[in-house]
A = this chain, B = another copy of it.
Amino acid sequence: MKAAGKLSGFPEFLPAERHVELAVLDHLRRVFELHGFANIETRAVEPLETLLRKGEIDKEVYAVRRLHADESETAQLALHFDLTVPFARYVVENAGHLQFPFRRYQIQKVWRGERPQAGRFREFTQADIDIVGDGSLPFHFDVEVARVMAEALAGLPIPGLSMTLQVSNRKVLEGFYLGLGIAEPTAVMQVIDKLDKLPADAIAELLAEQGLSDEQAQACLALAEIRTTDTSFVERVRALGVEHPMLEEGLAELESVIAGCATVEGVTVTADLRIARGLDYYTGTVFETRVAEHPQLGSICSGGRYDQLASDGKRTYPGVGLSIGVSRLLSTLTTSGVTATRPVPSAVLVAVNDEESRAQSDAVAQRLRARGIACEVAPAAQKFGKQIRFAERRGIPFVWFVTEDGDQVKDIRSGDQVTADPDVWTPPETDLRPQVTQKETPA
């Protein structure tokens, strides 16, 4: 088959970068499972109408259809564009078999027909955690998911990322707007959500179009400017002199999250009242995450509380969760020089003396593998210099020589060669598996 050429928006990694991705996914899995999250996967497709019901996304959906579908196949399917909608469907479908509060993590590809650009792909991997309750879900889970995700982000095996988890609360914003006498707080929130993309005076104009007075608009912008790494944001909001019961409730909730994250290390957690999240299904806590070194990526981890994550008409399932844009995060690899120390798992290349004795080399390899040491046997019984160069080209650090009077293993970086027993010898821990490393400092 001939090469088909790359497809824009559908990135593929070479083995070394894929190793970094696997290291990231393994780390996330470990943290999520330590916190009691069970893994699930959902099918890649959903009925189109399920996806479109979430609105605003229809232009981005990939429809799926058998090339020679029968007349009878009327169900229109499409690829899922996130993991939240399928999860909500899964919860309702399997509610009788799940124990609530149900905590799950899910790491899968999703597809969106977006215009490809920096960090935006048409196929990409998301890693989600959510906790969902049956009927109700105590607020302390908002604090917990924030802490779990902060721990997960802080421990990512990628050097050179300074991350800030920005927390806000829709009740603070909505309560504040209601306290200002604004009739349609949701519309205002959607305008404020654009503060990232538009300057403050353009936002003020949009707010005026919503019928806000100059004073109201200035108060909204003043609220959006509040950003603290501790709970002092509460006083700063109060200083704006607006009062509303919903505002009070939101401030107490946001204070709990920020106070609950005080012990988090490695990630900065801030209360940031500019964060509104445009989507209308969030009902309280909302999260976004910025990487200081890569502002162009936007948020690499977002989420929040939905009082109605899912419903079957009779029962309602509130949830709170966060989603990491793994592919977006990994899109930085290409410029940062972060890669693996070698593109193959093998720590050892077992040399072959001649094709007749290949079985002996195979046997040595098998004994090393029995003790967890990844290795491969040389593809051809060439001169040893050529076999060593074969290992060198793949970054395999050790070459093993099978000899009559005791085997030898050579560290081809230092040239050190020692007598070794395949049932005893072990490479240094850092050579056992490929490690994530940074080739050069980015400019």
Contacts and interface: CB of A to CB of B under 8 A. Distances in A.
A363 to B, nearest CB: 9
A89 B37 contact: no
A41 B14 CA distance: 9
A63 B113 CA distance: 15
Interface string A319-360: 000000000000000000000000111100000000100100
Contacts of A41: 12-13, 18
A212 to B, nearest CB: 33
Given A2-B313, A44-B123, A64-B64, A37 B379 contact: no
A2 B92 contact: yes
Interface stretch (A45-53, A187-195, A237-245, A398-406): A45-53
Interface string A356-379: 001000100000010011111101
Contact of A65 (B37, B63, B123, B380): B63
A413 interface: no
Nearest to A377: B144
Given A13-B41, A68-B59, A4 B379 contact: no
A170 interface: no
A7 to B, nearest CB: 7
A249 B188 CA distance: 77
Interface stretch (A99-107, A202-210, A215-223): A99-107
A374 B36 contact: yes
Given A78-B67, A113-B66, A345-B37, A14 B94 contact: yes
A42 B12 contact: yes
Contact of A343 (B12, B38, B65): B38
A443 interface: no
A376 B103 contact: yes
A423 interface: no
A439 interface: no
Contacts of A97: 14
A61 B66 contact: yes
A93 interface: yes
A181 interface: no
A233 interface: no
B89 A35 contact: no
A138 B7 CA distance: 33
A189 to B, nearest CB: 22
A311 B1 contact: yes
A22 interface: yes
A19 interface: yes
A197 interface: no
Instruction: Please indicate which of the listed interface residues A3, A54, A65 has the most CB atoms of chain B within 10 Å of its own CB.
Output: A3
B22 A39 contact: yes
A383 interface: no
A101 B10 contact: no
A154 interface: no
Contact of A43 (B34, B103, B123, B372): B123
A30 B350 CA distance: 19
B67 A15 contact: no
A97 B337 CA distance: 16
B66 A36 contact: no
A64 B10 CA distance: 14
A287 to B, nearest CB: 19
Given A2-B311, A65-B63, A67-B61, A43 B374 contact: no
A199 interface: no
A5 interface: yes
A279 interface: no
A407 to B, nearest CB: 19
A93 B7 CA distance: 11
A176 interface: no
Instruction: Please indicate which of the listed interface residues A35, A61, A66, A77 has the most CB atoms of chain B within 10 Å of its own CB.
Output: A66
8 contacts: A4-B47, A4-B50, A7-B45, A12-B41, A63-B67, A101-B379, A103-B344, A144-B377
Query: When A and B form their complex, which 10 residue pairs have the shortest distance between CB atoms, in order from nearest?
Result: A36-B376, A66-B113, A36-B346, A10-B43, A33-B345, A15-B38, A3-B92, A34-B369, A61-B67, A4-B50
